[in-house]
Amino acid sequence: MEVVIVKDAKAGGELIADGIADLLRRKPDALLGVATGSTPIPIYDALVAQVAAGSVDPSRARIAQLDEYVGLPAGHPESYRSTVLRQVVEPLGLSQDAFMGPDGSAEDVQAACEAYDKALAEAGGVDLQILGIGTDGHIGFNEPCSSLASRTRIKTLTEQTRVDNARFFDDDIEQVPHHVITQGIGTILEARHLVLLATGEGKAEAVAQTVEGPVSALVPASALQLHPHATVVVDEAAASKLKLAEYFRQTFAAKPDWQGI
């Protein structure tokens, strides 16, 4: 696992966008796994800026959704499909044909989960998966004590996650669904490169447990320690509880430019 400490969220977004741009130059039809929420927005903004400047061509890229609420009406503005289309697909100038995600409105939710796992495999697998992290250490919607071998499935959200997400629903927790479809940890670990961005002091404890704690289902993000190519990008606030922060700064400063992220 590589840990990169940056000045702020904007710097983190630019660093990760540079990595995505490098990937698209090597593999123009790369399958990019995207996360939602406020944390990854600086990544998407920086990538769109690179596209506008003509430094990278995303026209053949494909976009894969990480998770989806269960039961929101089709086209609901806070469904993750709508969010990904609004924040990533449309700004990059891609068509909806480039997008894939689980069906949160399916009558048979379990079948929809299995179908999405199969679709990801048939697409050749995710080349780079962007991840955020919850204050309780969850990734995707794999809440604490999720199986580290889990596949795409339906999950019940914890009260804390619903509280955290209420800001997207007019601060009304009653509007936040109780269930989601999420790629499982086992599914996430199949991506070729995992990139987690965490910003703010509220994420500091979860980051420390993820990076320096034991691998444990209690902290689902700690499973990144098992991945051969995982990058954790954190701002100074989110890095504030890392015991090895100075070491991480030194190793990144000495990293050869050709290695990228």
Cβ atoms within 10 Å, residue 156: 13
| Rounded Cα distance, 164 and 151, in Å | 24
Torsion of CA 210, 66, 112, 126, to 10 degrees: -100
Question: Which residues, in sequence order, are bridge partners of residue 3?
Answer: 232
**In Å, what is the CA distance from 258 to each residue of 56, 115, 178, 261?**
18, 38, 45, 9
End-to-end CA distance of the chain: 11
**Catalytic one of 68, 143, 164, 235:** 143
**In Å, what is the CA distance from 51 to each residue of 2, 26, 30, 96, 98?**
27, 16, 15, 18, 17
**Catalytic one of 127, 136, 164, 235:** 136
DSSP state of 213: S
Residue/partner pairs of 108-113 with CB below 8 Å, 24 or more apart:
109/70, 109/154, 109/181, 110/153, 110/154, 112/181, 113/151, 113/152, 113/153, 113/154, 113/181
- Residue 138 is a catalytic residue: yes
Whether 241 and 137 have beta carbons less than 8 Å apart is answered as no
- Residue 143 is a catalytic residue: yes
Cβ atoms within 10 Å, residue 139: 29
Question: Which residues, in sequence order, are bridge partners of residue 100?
Answer: 64
**Catalytic one of 68, 117, 138, 235:** 138
Q: Please give the positions annotated as active site.
A: 67, 136, 138, 143
